[in-house]
Homo-oligomer: A and B are copies of this chain.
Amino acid sequence: MSKGKVCLAYSGGLDTSVILAWLLEEGYEVIAFLANIGQEEDFEAAEKKALAIGATKFVVVDVRKEFVENVCFPAIQANAIYENVYLLGTSLARPVIAQAQIKVAEEEGCFAVSHGCTGKGNDQVRFELSFYALKPDVVVIAPWRDPAFFNRFAGRKDLLEYAASKDIPVAQTKAKPWSTDENLAHISFEAGILEDPNTTPPKDMWKLTVDPTDAPETPEDFSIEFEKGLPTKLILDGGKKVVTDPVELFIEANSLARRNGVGRIDIVENRFIGIKSRGCYETPGLTILRTAHVDLEGLTLDREVRALRDQFVTVTYSKLLYNGMYFTPECEYVRAMIPPSQITVNGTVRARAYKGSVSVLGRFSETEKLYDETESSMDELTGFSPEDTSGFIAVQSIRIKKFGESARDAGRKLEL
């Protein structure tokens, strides 16, 4: 008699294979779920394995389109970035996967969902908070936080022995000394030898991008067009190659960045649960698209709108994404602030990728007129009375002179 159906996020790897077998042993019926979010993966092998272990069903869901269009692109609009450096590649994927998993759980009549995340990381939080928002009555089975599980499987050896006992095939390749997580936007590397934050990652760890020193000697120039802050056209090869479909554009931006070694970072970040953690990331296309977007905002976005968006939306949205708070009232609220900030972000940025970096060559907009060459020109006085600036400075200085006088009266010298 089954204790009920559980929808397990199944990757085909050792951990989730053991979890699958363990759930069956515990008396659950298991639906294995796997999201195709652009990672390099043998989906067929995973299916075969899941069914062999005893899953009732294996469901793979292709979420690449909604990942790019509904999550990655708005992140570009918002210039999302965490702790000055991290482009949130993993964080962006989590709500997409969670939504697909809950949908499968509901379609398959599962009362519970399960995952193989560890008890110290961000991903457990990101998945579960999304689960609870999308299906408040769902039960979450998190084996790595269940003493019955984690006490039994204290090390890799225990997992391997259990797998052997259950006839679960294990890849013969030696485990890499770090963990990875991959999707269309990025790959992450953490744990293992990377836990010493002073260990430089070995050259062969990096997977998506070529090493900058191995990248082509010739810079590669390209253009990106945006409409309302969304990338709508990527132009390569001096105009010979033009991509407009969002997913294709994103993949093409990835290729461009990958072959030029663009998008690597290495940081110590602060996990939601308050632990510091070292991560290495490759975020090729997103790095290029975000750089171009930031640049175009200089040309087309009003100063004050930009400042408000920077200080409130970018910072808040990035933190919410990182902490797994996508499906929350505050994140809905913050997302509502993105489109009104992007109305005028229309135009094209010309840029260059070269040996690990991307730089801007120029930008233009056919519709937006906030930048005005005549007005901007230092050599032109058309429509401008320099005396006005005298008044502007005089008024700005009212408060500042008072400050200077107060300091003087108090015998205090203002100094650098």
Is there contact, CB below 8 Å, between B393 and A129?
yes
Is there contact, CB below 8 Å, between B306 and A416?
no
Instruction: Flag whether A404 is at the interface (Cβ < 8 A).
Output: yes
Q: Which residues of B contact A267 (CB under 8 A)?
A: 295, 298, 360
Tell me the minimal C-beta distance from A369 to chain B in angstroms.
6
Stretch of A143-151, A229-237, A249-257 on the interface side: A143-151
In A76-126, the 8 Å CB interface with B consists of 79, 83-85, 95-96, 99, 118-121, 124-125
Q: Which residues of B contact A274 (CB under 8 A)?
A: 303, 395-396, 398-400, 402
Known interface pairs A387-B391, A404-B134. Does A354 touch B356 (Cβ–Cβ under 8 Å)?
yes
Is there contact, CB below 8 Å, between B307 and A311?
no
Complex Cα distance, B309 from A410, in Å, reads: 23
Tell me the minimal C-beta distance from A197 to chain B in angstroms.
6
Q: Which residues of B contact A132 (CB under 8 A)?
A: 397, 400-401, 404
Complex Cα distance, B355 from A319, in Å, reads: 32
Is there contact, CB below 8 Å, between A396 and B129?
yes
Tell me the minimal C-beta distance from A372 to chain B in angstroms.
7
Tell me the minimal C-beta distance from A214 to chain B in angstroms.
11
Most chain B CB atoms below 10 A, which of A196, A307, A326, A393: A393
Tell me the minimal C-beta distance from A210 to chain B in angstroms.
13
In A350-388, the 8 Å CB interface with B consists of 350, 354-357, 359-364, 368-373, 375-379, 381, 384-388
> How many chain A residues touch B (Cβ–Cβ < 8 Å)?
140
Q: Which residues of B contact A400 (CB under 8 A)?
A: 129, 132-133, 274, 325, 327-328
Most chain B CB atoms below 10 A, which of A136, A299, A399: A399
Q: Which residues of B contact A79 (CB under 8 A)?
A: 84
Most chain B CB atoms below 10 A, which of A134, A270, A311: A270
Known interface pairs A84-B79, A133-B403, A395-B274. Does A384 touch B119 (Cβ–Cβ under 8 Å)?
yes
Tell me the minimal C-beta distance from A198 to chain B in angstroms.
4
Instruction: Flag whether A213 is at the interface (Cβ < 8 A).
Output: yes
Contacts A145-B386, A266-B360, A328-B399 aside, 16 further interface pairs with beta carbons under 8 A come to: A129-B400, A132-B400, A135-B404, A150-B386, A268-B298, A270-B298, A274-B396, A304-B399, A332-B340, A333-B337, A355-B356, A355-B357, A357-B357, A368-B406, A385-B391, A388-B391
A residues whose Cβ falls under 8 Å from a Cβ of B: 66, 70-71, 79, 83-85, 95-96, 99, 118-121, 124-125, 128-129, 132-136, 142, 144-147, 150, 179, 190-192, 195-200, 212-213, 217, 219, 264-270, 273-278, 294-295, 298-299, 302-312, 315-316, 319, 325-330, 332-334, 336-337, 340-341, 344, 350, 354-357, 359-364, 368-373, 375-379, 381, 384-409, 414-416
- What are 24 A-B contacts defined by CB distance under 8 Å? A85-B295, A99-B415, A119-B390, A124-B393, A125-B392, A135-B404, A144-B386, A147-B387, A195-B377, A196-B373, A197-B362, A265-B359, A278-B371, A305-B329, A305-B330, A308-B316, A310-B315, A328-B403, A333-B340, A354-B356, A356-B359, A357-B357, A368-B406, A388-B395
